[in-house]
A and B are shown apart, each in its own frame.
Chain A
Amino acid sequence: MIKKVFDNFEELLGSVILVVMAVITFANVVTRYFILYALAFTEEVTIYLFVWLVMLGTAIAFKKGANLSMTFVYDKLPARGKKLCFFASTALSLAFFALLAYLGYVQVSDEIALSVTSPSLAIPMWWYTVSLPVFSVLIIVRIMQAAAETVRGDEFRRGC
């Protein structure tokens, strides 16, 4: 059970967030005709939850190897070349999200230290931005999991 939740954490939380975003936006359209202000303030919630969603979905994309990439050079390489490319590519992805995790952490710390508030609801900004460091770590975990699987399966021999 716990493993199942861990394996599908992004899908579960991401689905919930997507539902919330869709409901708020739809409710906004409906209420705009009845209430003067509609739920204008909820725009903040939707667009910032969108960041949560994209970070979670990026973790899914790395888990499933679904990110856009250019494969036509890679496909023509021999197994050794593919292996080299694979390690270089994995290392670069890890480095990028490690930097994002670190800088996101610094941003969140600064925002907590300065009690920065959000533009419409004036709630703590870090409630939204915390998605950057936390889910960057999740993305890093997923990159490593997928890489381990690739190495174990020795997928370089096959045309990938």
Chain B
Amino acid sequence: AEYKAEYKLDIVPSLTTAWGMGATYFTDLVRERSDGRINIKVYPNSQLTTGAQTNAFMLVRNGTIDFAVQSSINYSPQIVELNLFALPFFIANQPDKYVAMDAIKAGESGKLVVKAVEDKGVKFLAWGENGFRELTNSKREIRSPKDMEGMKIRVVGSPIFLDAFRAIGANPLTMNWSDTMAAIQQGVVDGQENPISTFYPVKIHEYHKYVTDWHYVIDPTMYVVNPAVWKTFSEDDQKLIQEAAEEAGKYMVALARISLDDGTAYKYLESIGKLPEITDWYKELANVGMTVSILTPEETRAFAEKTAPVVDEWRSKIGEEIVAAAEADMAAAAASK
């Protein structure tokens, strides 16, 4: 079949975030390796969905958008299984949260999730990662659920987030990312939660002085493509794109984890010669004047206890089979470590 002169790829934030860099790396690899035959253009800031990020899945599915690097959260209105990653403290409570995350991606539960995505009409290419979602706010240091009482927190438009924050005692508001910075500037909301690599580049520190590192949920991203578009590629080109997505995904995961894991991410980025400007997140956040509160396991537990009913409720909504498989995958990984 004939190739398009240019394919469109959708992402939510700006190109300077880990998300944006992971997407750009993918399109660069594809362009280079196809000698310029396959051109994919990254459209940042939810341009292709005119700001309505949770519509992204629908628009890839119906072919309006060819490719996307999308977070599991933005697909969860359409694919309830993806709420697995939004179960509060489900992965964070594991002995090593990154080992646990990788175990899900590689394990049975990951297969079930990918199947759920593809059953709904989108071709999955590879996993990326935005990172664990941390909390920032303009009011005070947060170390316990009590500190968050009544605080207005912007969350993405997904019910499980509302449930989790209500269970903690905060006052969550749903809002598109494209409206969020204005809401933060105007003080419409007191806080927000996102991976560091997403909120740092938009200079959240100009408004929020406090970060709570509680890594309550993770935001894995997926490289996906419209199935009809996928079929137009020759077998060789499919292989080329698939590999590029996997490599870009690895790069993105490392960007999201640098200085937050055991050093693996740093070593990987160094090995491919793509070390980012900032290689120590906590130091950088302190540099720009933020108070970083890294919760102790006991402090984390206090939050997890509050949100335990939410996990119970959502287990059945997500599907017992998938949640149990994820627990088994994580347990096996922890045991073999």
Chain A residues with Cβ below 8 Å from B150 are 36
Interface contact B159-A106, CB-CB below 8 Å:
no
The listed residue (B58, B80, B120, B159) touching A120 by CB distance below 8 A is: B159
The listed residue (A38, A107, A117, A122) touching B58 by CB distance below 8 A is: A107
Chain B residues with Cβ below 8 Å from A36 are 150, 169, 171
Interface contact B62-A110, CB-CB below 8 Å:
yes
Interface contact B162-A120, CB-CB below 8 Å:
yes
Instruction: Report, nearest first, the 10 A-B pairs whose CB atoms are least far apart.
Output: A119-B157, A122-B159, A114-B78, A119-B174, A116-B78, A116-B77, A117-B77, A120-B174, A114-B120, A36-B150
In the docked arrangement, what's the CA distance between A20 and B162, Å? Answer: 24
Q: How far is the CB of B165 from chain A (nearest CB, A)?
A: 10
In the docked arrangement, what's the CA distance between A146 and B173, Å? Answer: 43
Q: Is B16 engaged at the interface, CB distance under 8 Å to the other chain?
A: no
Interface centre among A111, A121, A122, by most B CB within 10 Å? Answer: A122
Q: Is B144 engaged at the interface, CB distance under 8 Å to the other chain?
A: no
Chain A residues with Cβ below 8 Å from B78 are 114, 116
For A104-134 the 0/1 string (1 means CB < 8 A from B) is 0011001100111111111001000000000
Chain A residues with Cβ below 8 Å from B172 are 40
Chain B residues with Cβ below 8 Å from A114 are 58, 61, 78-79, 120-121
In the docked arrangement, what's the CA distance between A115 and B162, Å? Answer: 19
Q: Is B158 engaged at the interface, CB distance under 8 Å to the other chain?
A: yes
Chain B residues with Cβ below 8 Å from A37 are 166, 171
Interface contact B58-A110, CB-CB below 8 Å:
yes
Could you give 8 example pairs across A and B, Cβ below 8 Å? A37-B171, A40-B171, A110-B61, A115-B80, A116-B78, A117-B77, A119-B54, A119-B77
Chain B residues with Cβ below 8 Å from A38 are 171
Q: How far is the CB of B175 from chain A (nearest CB, A)?
A: 9
Q: How far is the CB of B301 from chain A (nearest CB, A)?
A: 24
Q: What size tier do the contact residues of chain A reach? A: 20 to 34
Q: How far is the CB of A83 from chain B (nearest CB, A)?
A: 37
Q: Is A87 engaged at the interface, CB distance under 8 Å to the other chain?
A: no
Chain A residues with Cβ below 8 Å from B158 are 119
Q: Is A96 engaged at the interface, CB distance under 8 Å to the other chain?
A: no
In the docked arrangement, what's the CA distance between A38 and B152, Å? Answer: 11
In the docked arrangement, what's the CA distance between A125 and B79, Å? Answer: 13
Interface residues of A in 73-124 (CB under 8 A from B): 106-107, 110-111, 114-122
For A18-59 the 0/1 string (1 means CB < 8 A from B) is 000000000000000000111011011000000000000000
Interface contact A40-B159, CB-CB below 8 Å:
no
Chain B residues with Cβ below 8 Å from A121 are 159
In the docked arrangement, what's the CA distance between A160 and B157, Å? Answer: 47
In the docked arrangement, what's the CA distance between A106 and B241, Å? Answer: 30
The listed residue (B62, B77, B80, B121) touching A125 by CB distance below 8 A is: B77
In the docked arrangement, what's the CA distance between A4 and B15, Å? Answer: 56
Interface residues of B in 168-187 (CB under 8 A from A): 169, 171-174
Chain A residues with Cβ below 8 Å from B121 are 114
Chain A residues with Cβ below 8 Å from B171 are 36-38, 40
Q: How far is the CB of B80 from chain A (nearest CB, A)?
A: 8
Chain A residues with Cβ below 8 Å from B79 are 114
Interface residues of B in 65-114 (CB under 8 A from A): 77-80
Interface contact A116-B162, CB-CB below 8 Å:
no
Interface contact A40-B77, CB-CB below 8 Å:
no
In the docked arrangement, what's the CA distance between A121 and B58, Å? Answer: 20
Known contacts A36-B171, A37-B166, A125-B77; A117/B159 CB under 8 A: yes
Known contacts A37-B171, A40-B171, A120-B157; A106/B162 CB under 8 A: no
In the docked arrangement, what's the CA distance between A40 and B166, Å? Answer: 11
